[in-house]
Amino acid sequence: MKIEEVLTFGQQVYKFKLSDELCDALNKRMDKEIEDKTFIDASKQLSAKIKKEYRIHSWLPEIDKENIFIQCIQEVMQKVTQYNNFVAHSVVVDNGWINDQFEGEYQVVHKHSGKSLIGFASIGYLKVPDFGEEYNKPEQPHNGRTMLLGNCQGQFSKKNIMLEPKVGDFYIFPYDLEHLVYPFRGDGMRRSLSLNYDVFHRHIPKK
């Protein structure tokens, strides 16, 4: 996998594009889990104001047989210059879930964490509905969008970036980058995927 775009605003966000085949496979498996009622409910452990949230960590390797999500984080690790003085022991998927968001639901401002203090969160879009009419200022749409809140400040700095969901877009960013999701209007379903990547490493001593 190759990085499609790098968004920089104090912190960096790495954008990838998932194949239609992988998105379809993930959607079909999730729909099957829901139909058979074999899903694991994650809504009580997660921060979102969303009723339908599902754990996928147990079956994700069955769908991602080419380890695309691991390839993405490996590509990121090669680009993150802060790790030049470290050798990563391993980068593992600590957790994974899917959110099925409906009208009026939203995600509060939050950040991710795992078993390691250092790591990366991610967002991937699997289904994107019509987000409905904006309450006002349609030239500045917010419905259903993801807002990233970078850890930077000062005059003329750009702290926030708004992501417009598109099926297949997959973003990786540091654990401590806060973000939120706005509600939308309409009968559709907004389906997103989130993975947490833990980074375990050791320092390279200077010669």
The answer to whether 111 touches 175, Cβ cutoff 8 Å, is yes
What is the Cα–Cα distance from 19 to 23, expressed in whole angstroms? 6
This prediction has a pTM of 0.89
Domain-wise residue ranges, the chain = 5-199
Of the candidates 112, 116, 165, 172, which has an alpha carbon nearest to the alpha carbon of residue 143? Answer: 165
pLDDT tens string 141-151: 999 999 999 88
The class that CATH gives domain 5-199 is mainly beta
pLDDT tens string 175-190: 999 999 999 999 999 9
